[in-house]
Amino acid sequence: MNTFTSYDGVRLTYTSVGEGYPLVCLPGGPGRSASYLEDLGGLSTDRTLLLLDSRATGHSDVPADPETLRFDRLADDVEAFREHLKLERLDLLAHSAGCLVAQAWASQHPERVGHLVLVTPSDRLQGGTRQDLPQIWETFTGEPWYADAAEARAALDDAPPSQRSGLERATRPFWYARWDERAQAHAAGAEHQTSKRAMLGFGAGVDEVDVAALLAGLQQVPAPVLVVGGGRDGMTGVDSCHAVAASFPRARVEVVEGAGHFPWVDEPEGFVAAVREGLT
């Protein structure tokens, strides 16, 4: 485990895995420590993965100012990390909610982007509707867990805060292409890898974010962008990948058909092949 001091004196931790040119990796959650990214299905054989724990997650410090936990403010930590690494341009991979942070950073520093890989991204900035999710959910109807998971998913929208964590836990099978032992063990890690403080701070005050300006900044990114989706991603779907890719002038979408929201867990070989091509 390594540390560096960010722009406001907050100490952040990161783990270095593998060999090769550095690839900074941002976790999602939101509020989940980077350990769930593991070695990204073996991508560490090609690159040195620098797995960054966002502030208030993992072993990183909790900031005195909770407003710095908002997703667009977390982008300042990415830029501080680039300066710490003494890299003119940064190769960056982000997963899920972490893609919002990556987009905020790329918008603010388009000239600093080397390669950008967005894995099963949220399309919240693009106002996506995720209309393909019901079709993806239907592919799981024959599974023994489906009825309970579907009932929990339907109850989430109106559930009080005291019930949400239990209901969300019941929907986890939709996160993966196969709800096998590997997926169940990976999903169980969320219990101790997630910081509620970081999770709540991530979206606090988002109405203050100038989304139009952020999206305009993405159009100034000259670097190639790869958006990786999972064909059976029951959390963010595939339509979201195309919505995010359309925000950049040089982006393409690669869908790993047999994968869910965590493609390096379901289809590690296909995932690594897709990312490897996007980084060369």
Q: Residue 83: pLDDT band by 50, 70, 90 thresholds? A: very high
Cβ proximity of 34 and 25 under 8 Å = yes
Distance CA 53, CA 33 (A): 5
* CATH code of the region 2-133+194-278: 3.40.50.1820
Question: Where exactly are the structural domains of the chain?
Answer: 2-133+194-278
pTM of the model: 0.96
pLDDT tens for 9-23 read 999 999 999 999 999
Neighbour order of strands in the sheet with 113-119:
2-5, 11-17, 48-52, 22-26, 90-95, 113-119, 225-230, 251-256
Q: How many CA atoms lie within 13 A of 89 on its CB side?
A: 12
Helical (H) or strand (E) element with 225: strand 225-230
Nearest to 92 by CA among 140, 132, 128, 51: 51
Q: Residue 164: pLDDT band by 50, 70, 90 thresholds? A: confident
Q: Does the structure show a pLDDT above 90 at 160?
A: no
Nearest to 154 by CA among 144, 167, 165: 167
Distance CA 92, CA 62 (A): 23
